[in-house]
Amino acid sequence: MKNKTLKLIPLLGIFSVIFYFLHVILGEIFYEGYNPLAQAISDLTASNSPSKNIARIFSTLYGICALTFSFGFFIYLKNKINKAVTVSSFTFCVMNIISFFGYTFFPLSESGYAGTFQDIMHMIVTVFVVMLTIISLLLYSIGFFRVKNHIYLGIISISTLLILMTGAILINIMPKEYFGIAERINVYSIILYTGILSLWMKKYI
């Protein structure tokens, strides 16, 4: 029974990636006039968004799967490889907890940024999510580079971190009409990284 449960964990990680992109794709379909080049992904689930109902269904499914996977991944890797990987897995789990509950309770009040309390909290959640993601990727890189058989995961981890930071820089320097592209570089990198961790776990359990 324990082995069967373990085998379900990486599948949840894979499903989280699928649900995330479904929330984006369907959200854009049901949001007439939505401009992915300029608008944030969070606009799809904003309180005044015409796509909020369908987008929130799949974003919630994504959050549940990602949170469950990250917790199971932490339990699976706890003290199994080295301390850096264990701490990074815990940090990754905490990031997903904050992301799930934070974005669930504090979606944008309307597309863009209206400056309400709800919007401010949404931004605070984003800051914590980004910070914890950076810490997690850095520790994953250090931990995996220390193990000969997992150096490739260290390369993937540091590459994802560099892509994430590149996206963060582009958000601040690119014209507003291309904000959506910069944000997607940022967000998609960590979503796909979750998928890579899921496939890696599926291979080794």
Radius of gyration of the chain (CA): 17
Q: How far apart are CA 14 and CA 25, in angstroms?
A: 17
Q: How far apart are CA 45 and CA 37, in angstroms?
A: 17
- Going residue by residue through the chain, which has 205 residues, state the pLDDT in tens, using 9 for 90 and above: 467 778 899 999 999 999 999 999 999 999 999 999 999 999 999 988 999 999 999 999 999 999 999 999 999 888 888 999 999 999 999 999 999 999 999 998 877 777 789 889 999 999 999 999 999 999 999 999 999 889 999 999 999 999 999 998 998 898 888 999 999 999 999 999 999 999 999 887 7
Distances (CA, A) of 146 to 81, 86, 199: 9, 13, 21
- What pLDDT, on a 0 to 100 scale, did the predictor assign at position 151? 93
Give residue 49's region: left, alpha or beta (phi > 0; psi -120 to 50). beta
- What pLDDT, on a 0 to 100 scale, did the predictor assign at position 86? 95
Phi, psi dihedral angles at 110 (to 5 degrees)? -160, 165
Q: How far apart are CA 144 and CA 119, in angstroms?
A: 37
Distances (CA, A) of 140 to 80, 89, 91, 129, 159: 13, 8, 10, 16, 11
Dihedral of CA 151/184/126/192: which sign?
negative
- What pLDDT, on a 0 to 100 scale, did the predictor assign at position 37? 94
pTM, two decimal places: 0.92
Q: How far apart are CA 134 and CA 92, in angstroms?
A: 9
Q: Are 48 and 37 in contact (CB under 8 A)?
A: no
- What pLDDT, on a 0 to 100 scale, did the predictor assign at position 2? 60
Q: Where are the domains of the chain?
A: 2-204
Q: How far apart are CA 31 and CA 54, in angstroms?
A: 10
Residue indicated by tokens 């799949």: 58
Q: Are 65 and 15 in contact (CB under 8 A)?
A: yes
Single-letter code of the amino acid located at 79: N
> Shortest CA distance to 48 belongs to which of 104, 114, 103?
114
